[in-house]
Structure 1
Amino acid sequence: MADKKGEIVCVTGASGFIGSWIVHLLLRRGYTVRATIKDLADERETKHLEAMEGADSRLRLFQIDLLEYGSIAAAISSAAGVFHVASPSTIDQVDDPQRKLLDPAIKGTLNVLRAAKNLGVGRVVITSSISSMSTSASPSSLADLSEDSWVDEDYCRQNGLWYPLSKALAEKAAWKFGKENGVDLVVVNPGMVVGPILPPALNLSMQLMVRTLEGCDFGRFLMASLVHVKDVALAHILLYENRSAAGRHLCVESLSRYHEFAQQMERHYPQYKLPRSSEEKHHGSVGSQAALKKLIDLGLKYTPMEQIVKDAIESLRSKGYLS
């Protein structure tokens, strides 16, 4: 493990599921972390971060608004690198998707990149999503998923899939800005991120897992692109530390159909009643393993699906989200 004592980095969205794990691993590696949150007065955002090993001397919290450049610049000031994780997410319908999802994702990302450029940041690592690569009416279209794949924006708008649309538009805006302004950026495209919970709130993927275990059927659009949250956090750090890394990086343990994921949960937790229609409609693994190779070549060793499922469900049970 590299000793990064003295190197300052900034993590946006630090109180969230992925952001908390990134902060945790950065502190363990010796980094000094400037972590951004929404509300310094909210212990649900601050308490678990301040309790981390090394936080007393190497963690500083900043309250920011993604739509306010000044607050972002203050947090990024003096940082050698930025991990931009912050972005709104929900599986529920929103009454104003432009204001609540699209603007914070797109304009927030551009504000972070402008601050990084103006303040001389060395590298920006952006958290995107596998959903920016593919969300379509036909699951078979996932078979050719690659670094060059993009979501069908019209399909997202027509079907109210605002989260994948927000991730795709934010990522496209980031690549355009980076190319035009010489900002060194790389992107992580995680799948369904689950695992041990550090903050006192559930991320989008863990909410999906809970609802699936309660009997909701998300198989009509959800591919079980499962990945452990610790692996996702480490992927961000590997991309930051390996400056030869470039482009988009699909980050999943495997690309498999929804029913394979459901079967893993049923095998170990038969007490939960999982939906059956997804298993009946979809069969077989999909996607190219070549798309996963970039992070593996950097040294990332993925947690197997069976362990991912166990870690996620045991964490949900211990936190009281499942009986």
Structure 2
Amino acid sequence: MAEKEGEVVCVTGASGFIGSWIVHLLLRRGYAVRATVKNLGDERETKHLEAIEGADSGLRLFQIDLLDYDSIAAAIRGATGVFHVASPCIIDQVDDPQRELLDPAIKGTLNVLTAAKNLDVRRVVVTSSISAMIASATSLADVGEDCWIDEDYCRQNGLWYPLSKALAEKAAWKFAEENGLDIVVVNPGMVVGPVLPPALNSSMQLMVHVLQGCDFSERFFMALVHVKDVALAHVLLYENTSAAGRHLCVESLSRYDEFAEQMERLYPEYKLPRFSTDKQRGSAKALAALKKLIDLGLDYTPMEQIVKDAIESLRSKGYLS
């Protein structure tokens, strides 16, 4: 029997890698899902969502613009919960960081939260990122719930995506405090695994680059997490009313070499660049942050299975031979 038969929730950014898996899980649990996309006329955004089991009766699609409050309110109206996943994810060079990344992330988040407040939504689960906590591998072992990136460092070094995630999350916490809105936040690491949309997300693109032998500096790290675990983390945070604060969501905190060794053992045909570096594992602070989701019932997929699921999905879709 479905656990949440008919309860209405809204997922922004539903067509993306994480969003589509959240929709998949919510439909399996019996929720009625209002899923937002940028363009209802684009099958690349809609077809894979409509193909999910249960979509014919439990899914309704809405077209929104993150900078258009009315379009967001139309999607949220009648929902008891919101999963705010939508945010531009551009890792490469951007021409206009304010227009392309910062405004949609920050103003879009505030529009979603304002609509949620005005329409009496019970709880909003906000998708942030580990990149809102840290900007380099040198600080990886010390990452914890109270960590934030250095905004000046990001601006000086053109790290616009981490900056957009941090500023959007800070804006969300400020809004929630000032307006009495119940929010919780997920901070995933590098999200990989089976791909539902027709295009790859930035993390899976990065994995392709790594497997094709791109040379990364020794500061590069792989804080991997399975996309299904990230989706479940969102749902657990919505359903557990005692959950509060930020939630680091990664299977492991380690340097690149550990990932390279795993890949070499599982898929020796891929020649990953190698370098000598000390492995950096999570400190007690980081492990405490990870434990919050484990205590809610999240059983992380181990790295070996994460790698296998990601590689097999990339192969099946023709991104790797």
Q: TM class by shorter-chain length?
A: over 0.9
Equivalent residue, structure 2, for 1:20: 20
Paired residue secondary structure (1:109): helix
**Candidates 270, 274, 288, aligned match of 2:272:** 274
Work out the CA distance in 2 between the residues paired with 1:76 and 1:151. Answer: 31
Q: Please tell me whether the aligned partners of residues 223 and 254 of structure 2 are also in contact (alpha carbons under 8 angstroms).
A: yes
Letter in 2 for 1:81: G
Paired residue secondary structure (1:274): coil
Paired residue secondary structure (2:11): strand
Paired residue secondary structure (1:3): coil
Equivalent residue, structure 1, for 2:35: 35
Output one character per residue of 1:88-124: Cα deviation in whole Å (capped at 9) or x when no partner. Answer: 1122111111100111101100000000000000000
Equivalent residue, structure 2, for 1:264: 262
1:252 aligns with 2:250: yes
Moved more, 257-266 or 225-234: 257-266
Q: Give, in angstroms, the shift of residue 285 of structure 1.
A: 1.8
Structure 2 gap ranges (5+) = none
Q: Give, in angstroms, the shift of residue 213 of structure 1.
A: 0.8
Q: Give, in angstroms, the shift of residue 222 of structure 1.
A: 3.6
Equivalent residue, structure 1, for 2:140: 142
Equivalent residue, structure 2, for 1:231: 229
Q: Please tell me whether the aligned partners of residues 135 and 221 of structure 1 are also in contact (alpha carbons under 8 angstroms).
A: no
**Candidates 164, 176, 179, aligned match of 2:177:** 179
Q: How does 1:73-152 map to 2 (within 5 A)?
A: 73-136=73-136, 139-152=137-150
Q: Give, in angstroms, the shift of residue 284 of structure 1.
A: 3.4
Paired residue secondary structure (2:33): strand
Q: Give, in angstroms, the shift of residue 142 of structure 1.
A: 2.0
TM-score by length of 1: 0.96
**Candidates 214, 217, 220, aligned match of 1:216:** 214
Q: Please tell me whether the aligned partners of residues 127 and 187 of structure 2 are also in contact (alpha carbons under 8 angstroms).
A: yes
TM-score by length of 2: 0.97
Equivalent residue, structure 2, for 1:170: 168
Identity of aligned residues (%): 80
CA spacing shift, 1:313–1:159, aligned 2, 3 Å = same
Q: Give, in angstroms, the shift of residue 274 of structure 1.
A: 1.1
Q: Give, in angstroms, the shift of residue 218 of structure 1.
A: 3.8
**Candidates 291, 294, 297, aligned match of 2:295:** 297
Paired residue secondary structure (1:281): coil
Work out the CA distance in 2 between the residues paired with 1:252 and 1:178. Answer: 25
Q: Give, in angstroms, the shift of residue 219 of structure 1.
A: 4.4
**Candidates 282, 287, 299, aligned match of 1:286:** 282
Structure 1 gap ranges (5+) = none
Output one character per residue of 1:277-310: Cα deviation in whole Å (capped at 9) or x when no partner. Answer: 3xx2342323431110000000000000000000
Output one character per residue of 1:118-142: Cα deviation in whole Å (capped at 9) or x when no partner. Answer: 0000000000000100014xx3322
Letter in 1 for 2:262: Q
Letter in 2 for 1:185: I
Work out the CA distance in 1 between the residues paired with 2:181 and 2:220. Answer: 33
Equivalent residue, structure 1, for 2:64: 64
Work out the CA distance in 2 between the residues paired with 1:305 and 1:244. Answer: 29
Q: Give, in angstroms, the shift of residue 276 of structure 1.
A: 1.6
CA spacing shift, 1:221–1:159, aligned 2, 3 Å = farther
Equivalent residue, structure 1, for 2:189: 191
CA spacing shift, 1:271–1:284, aligned 2, 3 Å = same
What is the alpha-carbon root mean square deviation over aligned residues? Answer: 1.2
Work out the CA distance in 1 between the residues paired with 2:47 and 2:138. Answer: 44
Work out the CA distance in 1 between the residues paired with 2:282 and 2:7. Answer: 40
Letter in 2 for 1:129: S
Equivalent residue pairs, number: 319
Q: Please tell me whether the aligned partners of residues 257 and 286 of structure 1 are also in contact (alpha carbons under 8 angstroms).
A: no
